[in-house]
Amino acid sequence: MESVRDNLEFSLEAWPEAGIECDFALPPNVLSEALKLDPEEGETPRLLTSMRGHLSLALAGNKLRVRGFFAVKLELVCHRCLAPFTGRLDDKFDDTVQIAGTGDEDEDALSGLVPLRGQVFDLTPLMAEFFWLAWPYKALCRPDCAGLCPDCGANLNEGPCFCEGSGPTRH
């Protein structure tokens, strides 16, 4: 197994019959670009670490089986209290994609296509897709997040609110 890769570009030239196993660490700027995030607009997620993981690649004709896992720390916004918090996104994946440009693509395939430039293909866009597929439906800063007061909007994780006329209230 080779050392940790900082890119996911692979060459079909002299592809090993046993496939490729590698660890990777995609820097935040590379992953952000693949995720189509604009840091100037402050869009979430704000990546705090590299996306680290492991890949196992097996090639059969123009089909590439991609298996592995990833993890990345990022800043999320809680769906209940709207406070930013540091979270971790991680997932395992096992998918088969087609290498486009080999001349024998299956037009009816359900799997995605990985573009081929010369003899090189890049799996960074596929990792961005796995990232979005792992995105939480509702991110919570903690399992018992109390959220916001529906009347005054106070963050109930910071203590009881003092809504007008009702005195200290814990909703």
Kindly report the backbone phi and psi dihedral angles of residue 69, in degrees, each rounded to the nearest multiple of 5, phi listed first: -155, 165
31 and 88 together in one domain? yes
127 and 167 together in one domain? no
* Number of domains into which the chain is organized: 2
156 and 94 together in one domain? no
pLDDT per residue as tens digits for the range 56-115: 999 998 899 999 999 999 999 999 999 999 999 999 999 999 988 755 545 444 346 888
Residue, of 170 and 163, whose pLDDT is higher: 163
88 and 36 together in one domain? yes
93 and 162 together in one domain? no
Angle of the 28-35 helix axis to the 124-133 helix axis, nearest 10: 80
**pLDDT at res. 3:** 73
Is position 18 within any domain? yes
88 and 171 together in one domain? no
By percentage, how much of the chain surpasses pLDDT 90?
58
pLDDT band at 144 (very low <50, low <70, confident <90, very high): very high
Give the whole-angstrom CA distance, residue 91 versus residue 88.
10
Per DSSP, which regions of 12-147 are E strands? 20-26, 46-47, 51-60, 63-77, 84-100, 113-117, 120-122
**pLDDT at res. 108:** 46
Residue 166 structural domain: 145-171
Is position 111 within any domain? yes
**pLDDT at res. 111:** 47
Kindly report the backbone phi and psi dihedral angles of residue 99, in degrees, each rounded to the nearest multiple of 5, phi listed first: -85, 115
**pLDDT at res. 100:** 83
